Amino acid sequence: MPELVFFSGTMDCGKSTLALQFAHNRSARGLQGLIFTRDDRAGEGKLSSRLGLVTDAVEAVPGLDLYAYAVDQVSRGGKVDYVIVDEAQFLEPTQIDQLARVVDDLALDVFAFGITTDFRTKLFPGSRRLIELADRVETLQVEAMCWCGARATHNARTVGGEMVVEGEQVVVGDVSDSAAEVGYEVLCRRHHRRRMTSRSAHAGVLSPDVLPVASD
């Protein structure tokens, strides 16, 4: 039976790489897929991974009816065997409903990849709707790591290297330079709660709630 499957995880856990692997494996077997993405790091209409892999995709701009787009492709004689959606957290909830309709009415598997929560630990609207509607929610097994070595569970936004918890939900930033004007970093819950990024930790900044150290 066709399914709507949501593959979720933090940044740096290989979501886009897995999406590209899904597309490659099915293409090697003669299947053709429809690939959607939104706000990919490589630019509009691209699905890319941090490993340097990239493929063309349809930019799922706000207001685009994903179900109607799939129907149009089939009506024009195009072959569509499955649908892949990367950066699914950025989709509108109504677009997630449209993906569910692709599964139910067109009998196509839909594989959605995205992060669940934003830098404030709040669910993205698209991710929330996927959790509500998906036949399966799969947590990716490649674990991103916090600077301390623990499993990273939270996405942090930094401004000038300092973690922030206020601002617009979607802001483009640099994931490889913590000193950038706007950057992103994955942290464990403890260091996200303490707002301790790798930069602040290396600078020797202590959280205000650390345990006291006894002196002789």
Q: Which residues are catalytic?
A: 87
- Strand locations in 19-81 (E): 33-37, 46-48, 54-56, 58-59
How many helices (H) and strands (E) the chain has is answered by 6, 11
Q: How many CB atoms lie within 10 A of CB 78?
A: 11
Pair 37, 86: CB distance under 8 Å: yes
Q: Are 50 and 12 in contact (CB under 8 A)?
A: yes
Q: How far apart are the first and last CA of the chain?
A: 69
CA 60 – CA 24 distance, rounded (Å)? 21
